[in-house]
Amino acid sequence: MSLVLPAFFGGGIGLAAGALLLLILRLTPSARLKARLSGLVVARKPGITAKKKEEGGGRRFIVPTLGGAVFSGLIAGRMPYMLAAVPVGAALGFLAGKLAVKLYRSRTHFQRLREAAVLYESIDLFTRAGFTPRQAMELSLPLLTLLRPAVERCIASWSGGALRAIEQLGNDINLKEADVLIAVLMQIVEGGVAKLTGVMEEEALRLDELRQSLGEMRIAAKPVYSTVYIFLPVAALVGMLLGPLAFRAISMINSLRVG
């Protein structure tokens, strides 16, 4: 019982810290950069029917939610307090899982976008040198990490139909910013690279600007993360100090009422 109120008080401090973090993120240059970034993304060009992969529903959050519920239940110890602690712990676990997934997606998206820009520029360079789109993709493989399996699958299925292989590449890359790459590859296969020289240059610059904007967002967010890293230990210390005091005050009030 003596741990329940401090635990809930510390949880409140954590929620307040999260709200403060969201407020700071809204006010930093990274929010304005994000708005500029969304304006650079173009819609999918007609004729491309690639389908985006659907992410799994909320199943990935089951483990952190259950973990938070079990942990809070163990801290509460007794049934009356457990009934209140379990939902709170489940909510905190769910929020922690959401935050972890969001950070992972942001990091992966940046890396995939960077590799998509590199792939686009490489294909532009090699097709200008006289290589076919398939040869250009083969020569670009050493430059790729996350997108390498997708490009390898595209090359392997090329003999079954170039357009179908390129469409599958769009499905595997799963980036709306790379839709123009898929459209240009299809047009190269159908009409040749000579008709698309200007388009390749223009879209290569657009992808590079997208990559630069994401890089600026990461740089702008670093001071925020540093501030949060300093604030969280302070919040934890305040919770450790004020939690027992709050419990002591409530105990004194209860004893006065009984008396």
| HEC per residue, 53-101 | CCCCCCHHHHHHHHHHHHHHHHHHCCHHHHHHHHHHHHHHHHHHHHHHH
Question: Could you tell me if residue 131 is left (phi over 0), alpha (psi between -120 and 50 degrees) or otherwise beta?
Answer: beta
Over residues 10-16, the mean pLDDT reads 56
pLDDT of residue 49: 39
Number of domains in the chain: 1
Q: Give the tens place of pLDDT for each residue, 151-174.
A: 999 999 998 888 899 888 888 888
pLDDT of residue 16: 58
Q: Please state, in angstroms and rounded to a whole number, the distance separating the CA atoms of residues 80 and 98.
A: 29
pLDDT of residue 54: 43
Over residues 187-194, the mean pLDDT reads 70
pLDDT of residue 7: 54
Q: Is it the case that residue 223 has pLDDT exceeding 70?
A: no
For the ranges 134-148, 168-182, 233-247, the one whose mean pLDDT is highest:
134-148
pLDDT of residue 225: 59
What residue numbers bound the domain in which 254 lies? 4-258
Question: Is 18 in contact with 95 (CB distance < 8 Å)?
Answer: yes
pLDDT of residue 9: 55
Cβ burial, residue 148 (10 Å; 0-12/13-18/19+): middle
Residue 175 gets which letter from DSSP?
-
> Where residue 213 falls among pLDDT bands split at 50, 70, 90?
low
- Report percent pLDDT > 70 for the chain: 44
pLDDT of residue 102: 78
Query: What residues contact residue 248 under an 8 Å CB cut-off, 6+ apart?
Result: none
Token pair belonging to 113? 């976008």
Q: Give the tens place of pLDDT for each residue, 65-110.
A: 777 666 666 666 655 556 666 677 777 777 777 777 777 777 788 7
pLDDT of residue 81: 59
Q: Give the tens place of pLDDT for each residue, 113-136.
A: 788 878 877 887 888 788 888 888
pLDDT of residue 152: 92
* The residue type at 54: E
Higher pLDDT, 217 or 88: 88
Q: Give the tens place of pLDDT for each residue, 37-72.
A: 455 444 444 444 334 444 455 566 676 677 766 666
Q: Is it the case that residue 216 has pLDDT exceeding 80?
A: no
